[in-house]
């Protein structure tokens, strides 16, 4: 998948969050991303169909290239979520489709299997939302709304959304298309800059 440049590039941002350090994904993340993409949950719910359908040996490089293009073309900002002490990749979080609808974006995230159940994803998602809601003149994206959706069969993602302050807005019938072509209903959640 190639993204067509339509906006100015996003300046790479690094965000500190206590035990977590968020930085733009980079080619050096390929071995850790490849390991995560071998996890059935990550590949099924979070990789994206073009990555999931690619040969296993090519998936991580393709996944990273797509995310790097997002920064370069100003349409997405994806972060590696690293342990602030060891630098180990714990997961990823990002926003995409930035301003496709005015002042809005869509969030996505996954956590490496060994880091699940430790609150990594909700904390990282909260940090990215706070940055995305910050005014442009303060280094943020100036967004008003960040939405996310997840397949109903992925209840862990629902817990992450709720813990990160995303309110449930409804069920989107047949909106998630898995790489095997199966359609799944999804929960829609959103968080506004004005939410407490």
List the domains of the chain with CATH numbers. Answer: 15-192 (3.40.630.30)
Q: pLDDT tens digit string along 7-21?
A: 688 988 999 989 999
Who has greater pLDDT, 179 or 60?
60
In the chain, the percentage of residues whose pLDDT exceeds 90 is: 69
Query: Which pairs with CB-CB distance under 8 Å and at least 24 residues apart come from 180-185?
Result: 184/151, 184/152, 184/153, 185/151, 185/152
Statement: residue 6 has pLDDT above 60: no
Report residue 192's pLDDT band, with 50, 70 and 90 as the boundaries.
very high
Question: Number of helices and strands (H, E) in the chain?
Answer: 6, 8
Report the length, in residues, of the chain. 196
Q: For 57-77, what is the mean pLDDT?
A: 90
- The mean pLDDT value for 130-136 works out to 96
Q: Is the pLDDT of residue 50 over 70?
A: yes
pTM value is: 0.89
> Is residue 48 over pLDDT 80?
no
Half-sphere exposure of 66 (CA within 13 A, CB side): 15
Question: Quick one: pLDDT band at residue 182, thresholds 50, 70, 90?
Answer: confident
Say how far apart CA 138 and CA 88 lie, in whole Å: 29
With a cut of 70, say whether residue 117 has pLDDT above it: yes
Which pLDDT band, with edges at 50, 70 and 90, does 180 fall under?
confident
């Amino acid at each position: 998948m190639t993204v067509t440049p339509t906006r100015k590039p996003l300046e790479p941002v690094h965000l500190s969050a206590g035990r977590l350090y968020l930085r733009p994904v980079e080619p050096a993340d390929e071995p850790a991303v490849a390991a995560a993409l071998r996890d059935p949950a990550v590949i099924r719910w979070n990789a994206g169909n073009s990555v999931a359908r690619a040969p296993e040996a090519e998936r991580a490089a393709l996944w990273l290239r797509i995310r790097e293009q997002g920064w370069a073309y100003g349409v997405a900002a994806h972060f590696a979520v690293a342990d602030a002490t060891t630098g180990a990749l714990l997961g990823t979080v990002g926003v995409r489709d930035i301003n496709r609808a005015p002042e809005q974006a869509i969030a996505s995230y996954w956590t490496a299997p060994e880091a699940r159940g430790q609150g990594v994803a909700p904390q990282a998602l909260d940090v990215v939302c706070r940055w995305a809601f910050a005014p442009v003149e303060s280094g943020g994206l100036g967004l008003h709304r960040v939405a996310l959706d997840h397949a109903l069969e992925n209840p862990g993602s629902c817990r992450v959304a709720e813990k990160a302050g995303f309110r449930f807005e409804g069920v989107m019938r047949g909106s998630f298309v898995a790489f095997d072509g199966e359609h799944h209903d999804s929960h829609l959640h959103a968080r506004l800059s004005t939410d407490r």
